[in-house]
A and B are shown apart, each in its own frame.
Chain A
Amino acid sequence: MPDMNRYIKSVDTDWYKQRVIAMMMFVLVAFVALVVRLVYLQVVMGEDYYRLSMNNSIRLQTVDPPRGLILDRNGTKLAENRPSFDVSFTPKDAGDVLKVLAELSSHLKVAPEDLQQKVKHSRGLAAFRPVLLKQDIGRDTLAGVEARKIDMPGVSVQVRLRRNYLHGLNASHVIGYLGEISLDELKSGDHPGLKSGDYVGKFGVERTYERFLRGNPGGRQVEVNANGQIMRVLRTVSPKPGNNVHLTLDLELQELAERLLDGVAGAAVAIDPTTGFILALASSPTFNQNAFASGIASATWETLITNPYRPMENKAIQGEYPPGSTFKIVTALAGLEEKVIDENTTFECTGALHFAGRDYRCWKKEGHGRVDVRRALAESCDVFFYRVGQRLGVDRLAWYAKSFGLGARTGVALDQESRGLIPSSTWKKKRFGVPWQDGETLSISIGQGYVLATPLQMAMFVGAVGNGGIRHRPAILNRVESMEGEVVFQAVPQEIARLPVSARNLKMVQQGIWAAVNGDRGTARRVHLSDIEVSGKTGTSQVVGRKDVGDNYVPPHLLPHAWFVCYAPAAAPRIAVAVVVENGEHGSSAAGPISREMVKRYLRRLPGGQKVASEDIRVAYAGNG
């Protein structure tokens, strides 16, 4: 190839030698530049830098950004910031360390030995660093310390913003709390710019929307004199406050739900079925978020996590319960859609269904007689739904339940949401290695057995039944605004799917559950309101099998869980509610009244909220009743 052009010559060792010499020159130049710079820093500017280093005088102070507020849908403040005061001590500035600590201990009401323990390691150069002695001292203590500061050299007080929850016991599971950033969180890289000792959201909205709430820290480079006083600010970056987070919650409704659940374990969820926005998400028992504001005491934490009623669990999204008879809505819709039943199909209920050598009982021992689908829903006839389940088979039923949003996370923006469980024959084969038994289908069709749902899932589902079949993604965040009021984020209803059912079939089911509340023999007559038409379904989910306990005494922790799901006003719902009371025994008596009070409170306040049901729902039942 080189022969093709006589100007191009193949290279030899001498050519390489020339190139190496050129490169050596290049290196020399670079190193001379380094040396020149070094001489400039150490010889020309050296004295200045030496002075700066000896005074140890340039300090970097971070200025924490105020965290965004959390508010409810009406602008009521749920979480704000309050100034708090921490006491620190710099041993090097103290002179007589023991004397200062003795004086300080009387103000802080901490034994002098404990204070000495904390500064024990601050010897040598470490004595230049302030040691944090006590966090969050009260105003009285602050006044005492400030007044005697002259006699306590080395003692300093820092102001720091701490979280204050104005309704510390309300919506605790939704709002959550802050905690000191953990080593893992620091390493994860999700929190750039934070250092150990900083607080981040650990639970609830405080955690999910950390990115909105946090803001950006500011800082100052300052030159200080020997007494630590600031001589000169070299550079300042002001902090950018976090954004305010407006939730979809209605504090009044939330408070009511929590008051009604007081004393029992359970959950109540209310949503707006027109948008999927969550109005209330209550879990009982609850906990006080303010206990977390400056690091929770380990004894308090211990009692919280060992409490048998699990206060730290958000039962509205983490609690999985068999949905009991509320699941009959699913079975009815599936049966109608698959045409295994229709409007006129009736089954005879004699109080039990004999199948595979065993009696599957109806809750009503004497039986319901001949019932159609509307009456079966209104009076919650178990036998009717056993028969529908038999005709459907478990896998068709499971397909409908799943496309109604059950057995999968709703996608609410809160951590640790449970999936619930919709069993199928392949699931059972995989889980237990044995084939599905037909008898199990009967249990599933009335919401017992393996099937599990969370209160939020059931609220979303019943809301979709009421609004004509639109499934929304539940939203907890309504709006995010900057401190200046600029809207950073505005939630819009997110439709994720439609219930795969015809309008006609949906209407039949709506009529059935309207009659459950408003009909003469409905199982939820207790929920009836004079001015608002509520449609709803009771549920009682077995903790132990009915045949295992029979009619004997049942200990309280084995009593069935009580369910109630509903929406109102029946024709054009503005609110849908799901309530679970653990071991509450009967849906109509334990969970129903809670739902009723929530519906009543919300709709009576809402303009146009008391609109009565349209005639067709009412008439249809009367015609068949």
Chain B
Amino acid sequence: MFDRRLIHNFDWGLLLVVLLLAAIGLTTVYSAVTADPPPAVQKILFYKQIIWFALGTIVMIAAFSFNYRLLDRWAHPIYVACLLLLLGVVVFGKLAGGSRRWLVLGPIHLQPSELIKIAVVLVLAKYYSKDATTRGFTLRELARPILLTALPFGLIVMQPDLGTAGLVALLAVAITLFVKVEWRSLLMLVLPVGGILPVVWSMLKDYQKQRITTFLNPDHDPLGAGYHIIQSKIAIGSGLVTGKGFLQGTQNALSFLPEEHTDFIFSVLAEEWGAVGSMLLILLFLVLVLWGMNIAYRCRDPFGTLLAVGITSMLALQVSINIGMTMGLLPVVGVPLPLISYGGSSTLTVAICIGLLMNVSMRRFMVE
């Protein structure tokens, strides 16, 4: 039943890159949670992350052990299920720090906004793979993908979680641009958004702007946000070429870094391992992303190609947004760094992504 060719075609290279990244991730999480006293409380997060990686391995194996073409058929049910979970979060979710992002199911705290990213990739890949043309998609043909994106986007904004909502939107934009949009339709989409929004924004009074930004991002505080960015930049910059050494980061140790084990984990790594370490990490991520693109390149089935493109875009977006944010290039939004940041839902989501990439990769020669 199990085709020998599958083992032969297994993507060992991708696995190696992922394992390297995961190892760096665990090391950095260890450093981030150890430095902050009292260590006894924090260290448990390190052990939990090991468990998440173990679970991730199982999830990854599950994600490549079936033929990914089944997902073409199952895309919509999966999407609807994820959407319902998301709706559940808005209604019943656990309130933390002013927003509802988690669904509490016994001991498991699920973050459906992570899962919905994969579901969006699935439905868009399914839709676009059917009748892509060299002309590109017209406005009318785009109505459905826009709706499919707007629903989860709206629900995530209501949580509110600006970072993830923006990510879902960017992800949809990336996949859509990949399959090409007819140029007049593109203009009609870009002009209103690009033209009207700044005008509306400039007409708002200061306190209205403030209200909108605080609504979208409750963690935001005028002094604190700028402070976090300064501290993050100091941490990264002070790493110099070779870094301060493992567990020697002063910025990290003195808790100058906000969310050091999740959103700002790159700063911890850059401080302790310097340009050498951070370049290595960025290089590994580049390899990962290009590897994913190469899987799309070699895939001969439109759905598989789009699936690989979508998943790889998601990883690429998260990496550049997260690292860009810690270096002060982008606003502070809560987007985790794949395979590095601490977190259950995000680790499992990345595991599914990797599993699906392997799935497409190992079945590229199998034609139905």
Contacts and interface: CB of A to CB of B under 8 A. Distances in A.
A-B interface, 5 closest residue pairs, ranked by CB to CB distance from nearest:
A49-B237, A189-B98, A53-B238, A50-B238, A41-B237
Interface of A: 1-2, 5, 7-11, 13, 15-17, 19-21, 23-24, 27-28, 30-31, 33-35, 37-39, 41-43, 45-50, 52-54, 56, 58, 60, 121, 125-126, 128-129, 187-189, 192-193, 218-219, 221, 235, 237
Given A38-B236, A125-B253, 11 more contacts: A11-B134, A13-B300, A24-B290, A31-B285, A33-B329, A42-B236, A48-B237, A50-B237, A54-B238, A189-B218, A192-B221
A30 B320 contact: yes
Contacts of A35: 279, 282
Given A11-B133, A15-B134, A38-B236, A192 B253 contact: no
B323 A34 contact: yes
Interface in B284-304: 285-286, 289-290, 293, 296-297, 300, 302
Given A8-B133, A27-B290, A125-B35, A38 B297 contact: no
Contact of A19 (B178, B231, B235, B289): B178
7 contacts: A5-B135, A23-B293, A41-B233, A41-B237, A43-B275, A56-B250, A189-B98
Given A37-B329, A192-B221, A20 B296 contact: yes
A8 B135 contact: yes
A42 B316 contact: no
Binding site secondary structure of chain B: helix
A16 B222 CA distance: 46
B95 A188 contact: yes
B270 interface: yes
Interface string B212-247: 001000100111101100110111111111000000
A44 to B, nearest CB: 9
B316 A30 contact: yes
Given A9-B133, A34-B320, A192-B98, A42 B223 contact: no
A362 to B, nearest CB: 57
B309 interface: yes
A189 B99 contact: yes
A74 B324 CA distance: 58
Contacts of B270: 38, 42
B38 interface: yes
B37 interface: yes
B132 interface: yes
Contacts of B221: 192-193
Interface of A is mostly: helix
Nearest to B323: A34
B347 interface: no
A187 B97 contact: yes
B275 A38 contact: yes
B69 interface: no
Given A19-B180, A189-B99, A34 B327 contact: yes
Contact of A38 (B226, B290, B327): B327
Contacts of B320: 30-31, 33-34
A603 B161 CA distance: 58
A560 B329 CA distance: 74
B178 A23 contact: yes
Contact of A121 (B38, B135, B275, B327): B38
Contacts of B250: 53-54, 56, 125
Contacts of A45: 237
Question: Interface centre among A16, A46, A129, by most B CB within 10 Å?
Answer: A16
A192 B305 CA distance: 45
A524 B117 CA distance: 75
A42 B269 CA distance: 13
Nearest to A53: B238
A223 B250 CA distance: 16
A16 B305 contact: yes
Nearest to A22: B178
B38 to A, nearest CB: 7
Name the residue among A28, A38, A54 with the largest chain B CB count within 10 angstroms: A38
Contacts of B226: 221, 235
B96 interface: yes
Contacts of A121: 37-38
A20 B316 contact: no
Contact of B218 (A5, A125, A192): A192
A27 B178 CA distance: 13
B274 interface: yes
B359 interface: no
Nearest to A62: B223
Contacts of A41: 233, 236-237, 327
A41 B251 CA distance: 15
B355 to A, nearest CB: 21
B95 A187 contact: yes
B254 interface: yes
A49 B233 contact: yes
A7 B290 contact: no
Given A34-B282, A37-B329, A125-B253, A20 B309 contact: yes
Contact of B230 (A27, A54, A221): A221
A298 B233 CA distance: 45
B259 interface: no
B44 to A, nearest CB: 18
A42 B98 contact: no
A176 B142 CA distance: 59
Contacts of A11: 132-134, 302
Contacts of B278: 38, 42
